[in-house]
Each structure stands twice: as C-alpha cells, then as structure tokens.
Amino acid sequence: MPQYPGTPSTLSPGATHRLVDVPGGRIHLVEQGTGPLVLLVHGFPESWYSWRRQLPAIAAAGFRAVAVDVRGYGRSSKPREVEAYGMLAHVADNVGVVHALGAQTATVVGHDWGSPIAAHSALLRPDVFTAVGLLSVPYTPPGGPRPTDVYSRFGGDEEFYISYFQEYGRAEAEMEPDVRGWLAGFYAAVSGDTRSVDGPKPYMVSAGGRLRDRFPVDVRPGWLSDEELDVYASEFEWAGMSGALNRYRNVDRDWADLAAWRGLPLTQPSLFVGGAADPTMDWMAKAVDAFPTTMPNLIASHVLPDCGHWIQQERAEEVNAILTDWLKLLPGQEWHGIDAS
C-alpha cells in the first residue's frame, strides 16, 4: 500500500500516513501502535486530525489505532455524485479499510457524524466490527419518520442546520469564501468553554440568514490553537466543503436504504461518551434514555460536565482514559497481552 508523506508537524512520534484502496476509491488514514485494530471515524467538519490526541494514547494501551479521513474529506476519495455519500457507502469504506490493513475484525469508534457511521458499521457488519464506541451522538436505530420531515418541524420560523445543508451549493457559498473564519466560529459555537447558553441557538438559521450569523465573534475555544485551526482550514481549503456536506444530503436515502434494519439494536459491547454542554444532548436526550433497549450490551456511558460537542479534543485526557479502560474490558483482549480482569 502506498505511503502518504503528510505533514510531519501534525503527527506524534510513531504515527504514519497511508492511503489504502477500498472498493469505492481510496481512504487516507493515520495509524499508530500495534495490537487489536481500533478504527476511529471523525465527524463534521473535521478530519483524522480530530483524533490526534487519541492515537498515541490508544497505541500506548496496546492497540493499533487508525484514524481515517472519511470519504469527501482530506486526502480520501471525493466522488462528485451526492448519492455516493450514503451510509451504505461509508460502511463499505470502513470494511474496506479493515481488510486493506490485513485485519478481519476491529473495534470502531466514531464522533459526531462518525458516530452513526460507526454504529451502522457495527449494525450491518457485526462479523467485522465486534465492539462500538460512540462520542457525542447517541445511537438511534433506523426507521421512524422521514428525516427531512422531522427536521422541517424544528424551530418554527427558523431553519434547522441540517435542512439548511440540503441544497447543494447553498452552505458552500457561506463557508468557502472564508473557510478558516467559518470553522473557527462553528467550533466555538458548540464548544463547552465558548458556547453562548442563553444566546440564539447556533444550529438554527433565521429566514434569509446564514448559519454563521449566530457564531461567537473573535472567540477561540481553549482546545484549539492557531496552528491546529490552520491544519483544519488547509484541509478544507484544499478539498472544499461539498464532500463533507453531502453526508447530510443523504439522510432520506439512508432512511430508505436501511429499512431492512428498522428498529434493530446494537448488540456488540458498546460505549457512549457525551458532553453535558453539547446541544446534541438536548435534542437527542430520548435516544440516551433508550440505551437499555437500543444498546443492551452498553458497558459504560459517561456525560462529561461543562464539555461541549468536540469532546475528544475538549477533554482529551478524560476521553483517553475512558476509551482505553473500555477497550481493555472488551472480550478477548486478554489474548493480546492485555489484562481485561
């Protein structure tokens, strides 16, 4: 498999960039460590880089940590067709990565959009993904009302951000003229230390307005340095925003494609970690309450106080401890030199 040279300053010692072939194209990834495979799947608008603080910790715990650029992001393939970003394609990419790395099984961990991608990877391919960890976004089984019908009812006269993202080119026109500034505002809007709890909801859009109209101005989360923001901005300035946004544009297609799995639980050993100051926890509270039914083998669930949406970056040490403790508890880890007792 080819090596991708990457940017050395973004890597911890012992981590390497690679490009691997999957049936749908190529996936760029960063890996560190040896042992059982742990696949890390990022969300919007991030990249493999959102796991930069987890890669060395998971590797030090005795695992092979692999953080991917999801299709449409970074150095991974970017099909032109919107329908190429459906959930089935993302699951196939994850399976392809596992096999390209010479493994048969993996634990999959996702954050934000990476959380439902991880969950559906486990749901559709339990033979490959033997455990699943979800950060910030709880699992909801396939089914229920059509997603865009639900989102259209959010907020009354205002528009929910997922509805705002549906029209190709509309959100791009807001984001791409100032990628760095837009990202900085979006990260601050739902970060625990910069979120305006009493202000206008940053995930709603006023009639005729833009999403960024409600972002904090000239405020930077404590977890995000200038250099780290530059890494994110350079990735999206190079790749554009459409590949990332196309995930949102497939919610109704996913609803139809996943009908055969309607209402099914995740039965693998699982983990959930959320932030108490993350607005996602407000509108998805019922999904958390349903865990005894939807995730019956949930090993641990944590909600971190004063933490926002970017959980593994805002509270890296806590999340690292939670993840590695959970990984060591998974069945079969004693066969890899890890004491799971």
Mean pLDDT of 255-274: 98
Conformational region of residue 135, where left means phi above 0, alpha means psi within -120 to 50, and beta covers everything else: beta
Looking at the domain assignment, is residue 288 inside a domain?
A: yes
Predicted confidence band at 333 (pLDDT cuts at 50, 70, 90)? low
Strands 25-32 and 64-68: antiparallel
Please report, for residues 26, 166, 270, 271, 299, the alpha-carbon distance to residue 296 in angstroms, rounded to integers and kept in the order given.
34, 33, 9, 11, 9
Residues 282-310: what's their mean pLDDT? 96
What confidence category does residue 3 fall into, taking pLDDT thresholds of 50, 70 and 90? Answer: very low
Give a yes or no: residue 226 inside a domain: yes
Domain assignment present for 97: yes
Q: Does position 156 have pLDDT exceeding 90, yes or no?
A: no
For residue 120, what pLDDT band results from cuts at 50, 70 and 90? very high
Q: What tens digit of pLDDT does each residue of 125-150 get?
A: 999 999 999 999 999 999 999 999 99
Question: What end-to-end distance do the CA atoms of the chain give, in Å?
Answer: 37
pLDDT in tens, 52-86: 999 999 999 999 999 999 999 999 999 999 999 99
- Using alpha carbons, list the distances in angstroms from residue 228 to 20, 29, 61, 234: 25, 18, 25, 10
- Classify residue 332: in a domain, yes or no: yes
Q: What whole-number distance in Å separates Cα of residue 331 and Cα of residue 333?
A: 6
Given the residues 17, 90, 120, 309, the one annotated as active site? 309
> Does the structure show a pLDDT above 90 at 155?
no
Q: Does residue 3 form part of some domain?
A: no
Is 12 or 275 the better-scoring residue by pLDDT?
275
* 218 burial type by CB count under 10 A (0-12 exposed, 13-18 middle, 19+ buried): exposed
Q: Which residues of 1-37 are buried (b: 16+ CB within 10 A; e: fewer)?
A: eeebebeeebbeeebebbbbebebbbbbbbbbbebbb
**Predicted confidence (pLDDT) at residue 4 exceeds the cutoff of 90:** no
- On whether the CB atoms of residues 214 and 199 are closer than 8 A, the answer is yes
- Residue 154's pLDDT is 85
pLDDT at 196: 83
Quick check: is 112 catalytic?
yes
* pLDDT given at position 11: 63
Q: Where are the alpha helices (DSSP H) in the chain?
A: 55-60, 87-100, 114-124, 147-152, 161-164, 170-175, 179-189, 226-239, 242-245, 251-257, 280-283, 285-289, 291-294, 311-314, 316-329
Torsion sign (Cα): 117, 119, 314, 173? positive
pLDDT, tens digit, for every residue of 184-236?
A: 999 999 999 999 888 889 999 999 999 999 999 899 999 999 999 999 999 99
Q: Does 269 fall in a domain?
A: yes
Q: What is the pLDDT of residue 200?
A: 82
Q: Which of 17, 69, 90, 112 is catalytic?
A: 112
- Which CATH number do you get for residue 119? 3.40.50.1820
Q: What pLDDT score does 8 carry?
A: 41
Number of domains within the chain: 1
Residue 341 has what pLDDT?
A: 31
For residue 29, the enclosing domain spans: 8-336
Q: How confident is the model at residue 10 (pLDDT cuts 50, 70, 90)?
A: low
Give yes or no for residue 298 having a pLDDT over 80. Answer: yes
Asked if 245 and 171 count as a contact pair (C-beta separation under 8 A), the reply is: yes
In a domain, 41, yes or no: yes
pTM over 0.85: yes
Collapsed DSSP state (helix, strand, coil) of residue 210: coil
Mean pLDDT of the chain: 93
